[in-house]
Amino acid sequence: MIAAFEKIRSQAWQAGRRVLRSGARHAPARGATLDAPLLSGDDIAQLAIQAAGLAQAPAKREVHDHHAGDWPSAWLGRGLDFEEARPYTPGDDIRDMDWRITARLGQPFVKTYREERQPVLHLVVDRGPAMRFGTRRHLKAAQAARIAALAAFAASARNVAVGASLWDAHDLSLPPRHGRSGIIELVRAAAAPCPPLPAQAAEAVHESDRLQRLAEELPRGARLLLISDFAWLGAEHELPLAQLAERTDLLALRISDPAERELPDVGLARFQDLNSGAIRWLDTGLAAARKAHAAEFARRRAQVDALFGRAGVRCLDIGSEAEDLVQALQGHA
């Protein structure tokens, strides 16, 4: 077991270093420029190493979970294992005729086969305007990239096909793929530079359409990690989320910044809503203002929790300042 782990650890380190050589250059944590990648090559290499431990973590879900077992995939076609014989219906392939049962019962029957199955993981990485904010260690978008990289490396170690959707000013969709090249492409895209976006960039975005597209394109039973701060989430998203949760094993990973959870005392400060562009001045030195902010954050979180509950979506909270993602994700990704 130890030897196997060391082999995976070595392979993970090499995979991370290949990302570095492929274009994700080192970006210092302090003084980074706007065109610097969210993750350095060393960051990615470390996440690849940590993923080796995450890949061996047992799942926390019950074996009788609705989504337990193999996942069906649209990519492999029908299987070779005989499932059952059923009456012929117009349009069935005549090559599937079960002639023995047809002769015995006097009416046409065809053979059906068990669908081939392969595990599929799909990562949604929100890179919208509100995600390009952070006050401690990482932008929320950078934390989303770290989570995506860790989950992708861990899934690849389990021979899972990994795909992704990057929600940005121009969305990027990556189909499920096996192997190192697909993971490198995914991680590089998630860690691409993420400068502030103008508020107008979010005006034409319709998350309902994005969720509906996922429900139409993902194979039933796929695992889906939706990584966002969910600042955009509203009542109109409940139905498409419920449809997604019915089709997939959906986990919402909600990222928040410490300054969002508890407003720091920095005196009179200028704030801008990254989604709408609205500007407001606030005296953070007032205890009443900080208390009102904390109450509003708690109200909004409870509202989102209630919506997730009605839609049947599991939710996991991760702070943008969190460093140990393995502990946060263990048994979930």
Residues of the chain with pLDDT under 50: 1-9, 12-13, 15, 17, 19-31, 61-77, 203-204
76 inside domain:
no
Containing domain of residue 95, as a range? 82-113
* 3-state secondary structure labels for all residues of 41-69: HHHHHHHHHHHHHHHCCCCCCCCCCCCCC
pLDDT of res. 58: 57
| CATH number of residue 213's parent domain | 3.40.50.410
Rounded to whole angstroms, how far apart are CA atoms 83 and 111?
8
> Which residues neighbour 28 within 8 Å (Cβ) at sequence distance 6 or greater?
40
Residue 232: closest CA among 310, 173, 282, 167 = 167
Asked if 276 and 254 count as a contact pair (C-beta separation under 8 A), the reply is no
Q: What angle do CA 23, 26, 28 make, to 5 degrees?
A: 145
Q: Is residue 35 domain-shared with residue 92, that is, in the same domain?
A: no
Pairing, β 109-113 against β 172-177: unpaired
Query: Listing from the earlier edge strand, what are the strands of the sheet with 161-167?
Result: 172-177, 161-167, 120-126, 223-228, 249-256, 314-319
Tokens of 220: 């039933």
> Are residues 288 and 255 located together in one domain of the fold?
yes
In this structure, the answer to whether residues 92 and 196 fall within a common structural domain is: no
Is 42 part of a structural domain of the chain?
Answer: yes
Q: Is 74 inside any structural domain?
A: no
- The identity of residue 272, as a single letter, is Q
**Same domain (yes/no): 35, 98:** no
> Are both 95 and 163 inside the same structural domain?
no
In this structure, is residue 244 part of a structural domain?
yes
- In a domain? residue 69: no
Tell me, what amino acid is at 191? A
Supply the pLDDT for residue 282: 86
pTM comes to: 0.73
Q: Residue 208 burial by CB count (10 A; 0-12/13-18/19+): exposed, middle or buried? A: middle
Are the CB atoms for 222 and 214 separated by under 8 Å? no
Residues 230 and 316 in one domain: yes
